[in-house]
Every structure is written in structure tokens, then in C-alpha cells.
Amino acid sequence: MRRRALGFTLVELLVVMAIIAILVGLLLPAVQASRESARRARCGNHLRQIGIALHHYHGVHQVLPPGYFGTLADYTGPHWTWSAYLLPHLEQQPLYGALDVARQPFAGGVSFALPTAAAQTRLEVFVCPSDTGPDLNHRKGSYGKSNCRGITGSSPLVTTTYDDMTRQNGMIFLNSAVSLETIPDGSSNTAAVGECQLDPFAQGHVGALWAGMRGSQGGSIYISDTMWFLDSGPAFRINGSGDQAFSSRHPGGAQFVFADASVHFLKETIDGEVLKRLAARNDGQPVGDY
């Protein structure tokens, strides 16, 4: 009687390989989703830290930091941003001192000046873990990358005149000095800072800078170095088609920190009017569901 040889036949081996491939195909999306969930949680924690820093700044100055300071004569020139003013409240006092934010103009007062090593520092609190890629924003002069922009409000920045820039209805804009105690719509109903991704290719979302606004002679694209508005139009919605739109690599939307330091994930399908109401601090309209 012949003994059967031990081992797999070719058919059995192919069946086993097919089963393994199916299992991998089922498990891989779950693993990827779990990793993205962890990255999104870390991103939300970064925004929460920014929200707390805004409150610490407010505790010292009784107002939130401005998008940037500027006079009628130089408001389109290079300026430090709200995020640079937050550095002492984010355990970055040495960097704040190295940049000499309190005394020196951003980029030496020269539009589009080359960044210093300090201004190229990677600051994890301003970077979304899902937004992989280089530490520098190659779309914006190779300064240190940020995935966070202040929200100027719900009024499109169609023009960049001094009057237009200083009369926004959001939390952070040119020369803004918004007090948390005087937000008619309520701090829990008003978004302060939101995500903006940096597209690694030549076209697409341009991200932001944490250090400064480079200067533009009035060009609105450079306002988005540090802040932007929310609107119902397709270019300005969350994950909208515009390069400056608030956006993220989290599927389906982006995260925002509100004026009360709470963090919310806003879906890209959010009603446009609700989005505008969340961006405005004083429109007097009920926000509704989101």
C-alpha cells in the first residue's frame, strides 16, 4: 500500500494564498482607518492646545491676538502672525525670543525675504499628523509649515483694502482685538482656527505659515499665509476647490477649534449658511445643526 506524500498540493497552496490575500484585503483598510483615527485624535489635541493658548493670551492681554498688526501705510507688508504671538503660551518662549517678535519686524520688514533658520522651525502643534511631507511650506517661501489658519469671518476677502481687512466679523483678522467676553453669538458657536492642508504638488491647497505673512502689495493669496474666511461658495467651503480653502487630509471634512477652546470636526457637506454662521461672531443668527 502506497503512502500518500505529506505536504500541500498546488491547488491547496493556491487556496491558502487566496484566503490570506482576502484576509489582508479585509484587514488593511481597518488598520489604515485605525491609524487615521489616531492621527485625527492627535490633530484635535494640537488644536485644543492652540485653543488653550488663545485663552492664555487673552488672560494676559484681555483680547485675542490679531491676525497681524499693520498700519494704513504698511498693512500689506510682512508681519508676524497670531500664531507667532502665541509662542510664549505654547512653551516656545526661547523661539519667541530668538525671533525677537516683540521688537523686530517679520522678515526684517522686507516682503518675500528669505526665511531665517528660526522661522523654519517645525512646530508640531501647528502641523496635522495626517499632513505628511516636508517641514517647510514650499508653496509659501519655504518658511516653517503650518496647517492652521485663523478665521477672519464669513465675509469674502474680495478686496484687501485696509478698511475691508479691519472690519471682518470673525475672530482673527488685521488688527483684530476680539474679547472673549464680547462675542454676541457666543464663544461655543464661533470658530476661531481651522485646518488647511498643504498639497505636495505644484497645484492645490497651499497650507499656511506659523511665523508671518510675507507681504503682498494687496494680493489676497498672501493673506492666506495666516488667515482666511469661510463661505458657502464651492471654492471656499471645507475641502473646497480654492487653493486657500480650509481643508484637511481627514476623510470627509476638517477640524476646527472654537472660541471656547472646544474642537469640532466639520463635515465638508455642512450646510453653507451654517458654515458662515459659525465663522461670524456677531451675525445674530442661530447656528443650527452641524
Query: How many domains, in total, are found in the chain?
Result: 1
C-alpha 94/C-alpha 81 separation (Å) is 17
Query: Per-residue b/e over 152-189, b at no fewer than 16 CB within 10 Å?
Result: bbbbbbeebebeebbebbbbbbbbbebebeebebebeb
Is 286 inside a domain boundary? no
Letter for the amino acid at 202? A
Is 99 inside a domain boundary? yes
Residue 261, domain extent: 12-279
Q: Average pLDDT for residues 191-206, to the nearest whole number?
A: 88
Indicate whether 113 pLDDT > 70: yes
Is 241 inside a domain boundary? yes
Indicate whether 271 pLDDT > 80: yes
Is 210 inside a domain boundary? yes
The string of pLDDT tens digits covering residues 202-251 is 578 999 999 999 986 556 678 889 999 999 889 899 999 888 899 999 99
Q: Average pLDDT for residues 137-146, to the nearest whole number?
A: 94
Is 290 inside a domain boundary? no
pLDDT at 188: 96
Is 6 inside a domain boundary? no
Is 213 inside a domain boundary? yes
User: 12 versus 64: which is more confidently predicted?
Assistant: 64
Q: Average pLDDT for residues 280-284, to the nearest whole number?
A: 94
Is 289 inside a domain boundary? no
